[in-house]
Structures are given as structure tokens and as C-alpha cells.
Amino acid sequence: MSHSRLMQTATSVREVSKQLQRRPIKRAVRNVMIVTKARDNQLVHLTRELAEWLLTTPRYGSEVGVNVYVDAKLSRSKRFDAPGLLAKDERFSSMLRYWTPDLCWSTPEKFDLVLTLGGDGTVLYTSWLFQRIVPPILSFSLGSLGFLTNFQFNDYKTQLSRIMGEAGMRVNLRMRFTCTVYRAPTSTTAPRPRPDPNNPSAANSSPETIEAEQFEVLNELVIDRGPSPYVSSLQLYGDNNLLTVVQADGVIFSTPTGSTAYSLSAGGSLVHPDIPAILLTPICPHTLSFRPMLLNDSMLLRIKVPRGSRATAYCAFDGKGRVELRAGDEVTIAASQYPFPTVLSEPMEWFDSISRTLRWNTRGAMQKAWEGDVEAKG
């Protein structure tokens, strides 16, 4: 993606996000996908309860509900008991369906709404499933963390009836990164021709590298020294200009959504999801002047392991897909043209989430309570 195309993408996503938050989306929700931990017995039980309610509650002039997609692993689950659910109404045989990662990859437009049951990890897994177009995501809080899960499951009937009814849903487009790994050519691979900067489809890596893998990231890209005893020495470029040489245990490139995750633990700032920025947070830097900073989301970043590096580096994408970077390898980071749409529970949900989970700016009583009269001494 060229720099001009990247700027157009970032600007378009910002404008669409503003419009979606101002106006609710009113559309018929006929295909609902449920994402949960198939090995968690309690969550499987709740998934069965939710699926049955969606199937049986009449919608849009029909005597039955909507089509429900659950994890294909649940088709054999005794606790989910798909045969027992289908026996309640013969029409359910065509309404209860199963999703697979391949289905999410090939036809994401099939789903009108995705419901997640779990914690933030379940939401990140959902982002991993949809590497391109993402349906609206509504997350119920049933896990240990809750930065991204702002709906309470015990109120699911009221919330879903409102969203699937006349009220509609308000959606926040959360920024994602497109991260591309490029490999230095070996003796058996030929280097790429130098890209044409006037060509919108031209790549943005070094001309001597070969594209290997690409990931859509919701939280962060982490590059660290792995098991090596040496401090990482990484070249950081912005729009093909050398910005600095990173000398640290590693570096975190975080989205505003990921500002409450690893970046925060490493000293990064909290950033509201509506702010279009790339967070750069060093991990134990060699120089104390290397502080966290925010970069424009229209900037194309590239981080490279120098050919003369004493050690390799390792990168992880939302904690998954850990990849080794050898000398000459590099990774590009750009604002994705496929944002992650989350259904808003209320306008101030982000502030509520950091207050609830981090106890942001909450101060407990520090002085011992007064327990009675103290006799005056003359």
C-alpha cells in the first residue's frame, strides 16, 4: 500500500467511525455467530442457553428466531446437546449451524452479528478469526479481564432485543494493524525488484526482501530479543526514513485498543480508542531518554533486524503466531483498512471499563478511622 493510499484509508476509517457512533445501525439480524471456549463447561452451558433463546424468540414476523452459528466443536459436545436442541422444533435443523475458521475467512459477510462469551482473550481470538472484513462484535463479560467486554450476560435478553429491534446498534470502529513479515533472500530465493513509489499496489519493504506472512492485529505487535542474552538492536523506519535504532529488550507497537494491555505494563499511556495513533513503547530501553510516544496512524513503520546483528529477534501478533526474525528480515506496520467494529453498550464505556478494571484515579482511604474520644491532657 502506498503512502497516499494509506492516508486515504486512515481518513476514511475515521470518518466512517464518527458516523457510526452518531447514528445507530438498524438492520435485520438474521445470522448470529457465537464465539466461546468450547472446552469450558460453564460457557458451553451458557452458549446452549443463548442459542436456544435466539432460535425460539420470534423475529421479523416469523414464528421462530434467527439462524445461529456455533463452534463446530460443539456439534459433538454432550453438554451443548445439539440433538436435544433440534428435537424441540423440526425447523431448528436448518437454523442451527456451525462455523469454522475457514468459513470466517472465506465468507465473513455471512454473519450479521457476532456474540462473544468470555473475556478479552475471546475477543482477540475473534479478531484472529476475521483477518479481513469483520462483522459487528458484541462481547459479554464472562472472563477475568473486561476492557473489551462491556455487556453483562445476565441482561442478554434485554440487550439483544433492543439491538435486534427498533433501537439498532451503535458501533465503534477500532483500529487494527496490518503487519507484514518480509524475509531476506537466501541462496534459493531471488530478491524482489525495487518497488515503484507511484504504484499504489507497490510494497513498502526494502527492495531486497521477500514477503512471507501477513497478520491483522487488534492489540499489539511485540518484537523482543527472545532467548538471546544480547540487547536487541533494531532499525526503525517511518515512511522509509530512519527514525532511530532501537536498543532495548524489545519494542511494542500498540493500537489505542491495546494501550490497556502489554504497552501499559511497559510504561505506555492509556489512549482512547477513537484517537488515530500508533503507540510506540520500548521494553527496558538501553537509554532512559527512549520514552513511549504516539505516532500518526497514516505513517508506515518498518522495523528491521540489521544484517550485522549479533542475534535474531522474535515477534508476536496479539500474542499469537510468534515468528523469528533473522538478520535482514523486517516487519512493516500500517493502519489496516479492515477495522474491528464493536457494539457500544453506552457512550462512555471506555472510561467505565478502565475505572472498573484498573480502578483508574480511584483512591482508597489512607488515614486510620477515628475510633472514639481522646481524653484531653492538661
Per-residue pLDDT of 22-74, as tens digits, reads: 678 888 999 999 999 999 999 999 999 999 999 999 998 899 999 999 999 99
Both 60 and 80 in one domain: the answer is yes
30/107 same-domain check: yes
pLDDT band at residue 362 using 50, 70 and 90 as cut-offs = confident
DSSP annotation string for 160-216: HHHHTTTS-B-EEEE--EEEEEEE---TTSPPPPPP-TT-TT---S-TT-EEEEEEE
The reply to whether 154 and 214 lie within a common domain is no
What's the mean pLDDT when you consider all of the chain?
Answer: 88
Domain boundary among 169, 199, 220: 169
Asked, for residue 368, whether it belongs to a domain, the answer is no
Please count the CA atoms within 13 angstroms of the CA of 19 that sit on its side-chain side: 7
Which of the residue ranges 113-117, 307-311, 366-370 would you say has the lowest mean pLDDT? 366-370
Among 122, 140, 169, the domain boundary falls at: 169
Set 40, 81, 102, 120: catalytic member: 120
In a domain, 205, yes or no: yes
Res 15: pLDDT = 67
Q: What is the pLDDT of residue 201?
A: 37
Report residue 128 as a C-alpha cell.
484472529
Do residues 228 and 250 make contact, with C-beta atoms less than 8 angstroms apart? no
Residue-level pLDDT at 185: 87
Q: Is position 234 within any domain?
A: yes
* pLDDT tens-digit readout, 222-239: 999 999 888 889 999 999
Q: What is the pLDDT of residue 14?
A: 65
Q: Write down how long the chain is.
A: 378
Torsion on CA atoms 204, 210, 212, 218, rounded to nearest 10: -10
Q: What is the mean pLDDT of residues 135-153?
A: 91
Question: With bands split at pLDDT 50, 70 and 90, how would you rate the model's confidence at 242?
Answer: very high
224 shares its domain with 153: no
- Note whether residue 220 is domain-resident: yes
Same domain, 331 and 183: yes
Same domain for 241 and 124? no
How many domains does the chain contain in total? 2
- Which pTM does this prediction carry? 0.85
Q: Can you give the residue range of the structural domain that contains 126? A: 24-169
Task: Give the CA radius of gyration of the chain.
Answer: 24
Tell me, yes or no, whether 13 lies in a domain. no
* Domain contains 182: yes
CA-wise closest residue to 148 among 163, 127, 165: 127
- The enclosing domain of 144 has a CATH number of 3.40.50.10330
Q: Are 145 and 182 within one domain?
A: no
Does residue 12 belong to any structural domain of this protein?
A: no
Same domain, 83 and 219: no
- What stretches of the chain show up as alpha helix (H) in DSSP? 3-22, 41-56, 82-86, 101-106, 120-129, 156-163, 262-265, 349-358
Same-domain status, 208 and 123: no
163 and 266 housed in the same domain: no
Last residue of a domain, one of 143, 169, 195: 169
pLDDT for 378 equals 52
Residue 74 backbone phi and psi in degrees, to 5? -80, -10
pLDDT mean over 276-281: 96
Enter the DSSP assignment of 278.
E
Are 97 and 199 in a shared domain?
no
224 has catalytic annotation: no
Which CATH number is 261's domain given?
Answer: 2.60.200.30
In the prediction, which pLDDT does 220 show? 97
The pLDDT assigned to 255 comes to 98
Has residue 12 got a pLDDT over 80? no
Do 95 and 244 belong together in one domain? no
More confident residue, 160 or 3: 160
Please check whether residue 362 lies inside any domain of the structure.
no
Displacement of CA 240 from its chain's centroid (Å): 27
Provide the pLDDT for residue 25: 83
pLDDT confidence bin for 346, thresholds 50/70/90? confident
Asked if residue 137 lies in contact with residue 123, where contact means CB atoms within 8 angstroms, the answer is yes
